[in-house]
Amino acid sequence: MGCNQCPRKCNKERREGDTASYGYCQVSVRPKVARAALHFWEEPCISGEEGSGTVFFSGCNLRCVYCQNREIAAGVRGKEISVERLAEIFLELQEKGANNINLVTPSHYYMQIKEALLLVKEKLRIPVIANTSSYESVEVLREMEGLIDIYLADYKYASRELAAKYSHAEDYPQMAAAALSEMFRQVGEPEFDERGIMKKGMIIRHLLLPGCLEDSKAVLHFLYDTFGDSVFISIMNQYTPLAHVEKYPEINRRVTDEEYEEIVDYAIELGIENGFIQEGETAEESFIPAFDGEGV
């Protein structure tokens, strides 16, 4: 049976070792993982002091031209593992003191992740996070109900034109909007432990792109109008132009302080209270870990 786990609906069989069978995500049916380790650069209520137990999956159903994880997004780096090994990794991260299991780019592996989580459900005592682009199938997300505690989800664009140009997915805005609604139905209002670490709920991230202020304002307006303060909205200024965006000169620069201040001011004007902003020179920091197979 062909794979239709995401909105691309490639209907490819994703056979092991047969690259011709791979879908848009460019990986086979076996989970391919580039890194599984503690990560300290998520929002404070996710990383805390102990770190988030991140599992970076290879492959992706988007092709964002500015992607900082490009070396794994195209399915190049990583090691194919069994579902049983993936389940073991979850427990190993828990033993290392992780605040949560953070599944980075899980969309094309949800059924395999579901199987792995069911294997360790009785032993796993920490929340499970789906760290996603939100370019998701609502039907597949429903399969994950009760297994995902936190959705750390993007909402990249309100504009179909920008979505097509920069992520090769013209239908992203409506697909992601429907996915976000389903995520919220599953996890509801945010809950925290005594340390301030999130146990349940939703954080929606938006990365400000250079010159795209009006679209970002439309994104924030939609999110606040839809969810109010029942979710946290994370406004990110860490966009860093890498070599492969030279073909897109309009975004081949960093976001200015003035642009970021304007979008933060707009969020305040809207009335957003549950939010995260980035301060300091975040665009000069590296949020890209070494995809060296650690923990795999």
Q: Report pLDDT digits (tens) over 212-255.
A: 999 999 999 999 999 999 999 999 999 999 888 999 999 999 99
Three-state DSSP at 269 gives helix
Q: What does the mean pLDDT of the chain come to?
A: 94
The DSSP code for 209 is P
- pLDDT over 90, % of the chain: 86
CA dist 193 and 265 (Å) reads 30
Whether 282 shows a pLDDT value over 60: the answer reads no
Mean pLDDT score, 176-188: 98
Mean pLDDT score, 3-16: 92
Name the residue with higher pLDDT: 184 or 278.
184
Predicted structure pTM score: 0.95
Q: What is the pLDDT of residue 71?
A: 83
Whether 107 shows a pLDDT value over 70: the answer reads yes
From the options 3.40.50.150, 3.40.50.300, 3.20.20.70, 2.60.300.12, give the CATH code of 31-284. Answer: 3.20.20.70
* Cα-based distances in Å from 180 to 80, 96, 174, 177, 276: 29, 31, 10, 5, 18
Q: What is the pLDDT of residue 291?
A: 81
The DSSP code for 246 is T
Whether 285 shows a pLDDT value over 50: the answer reads no
Q: What is the pLDDT of residue 79?
A: 95
Whether 284 shows a pLDDT value over 70: the answer reads no
pLDDT digits (tens, 9 = 90+) for 16-34: 888 888 999 999 999 999 9
Whether 75 shows a pLDDT value over 70: the answer reads no
For the chain, the domains span 31-284
Mean pLDDT score, 170-195: 98
The DSSP annotation for 143-167 comes to HTTTT--EEEEE---S-HHHHHHHH
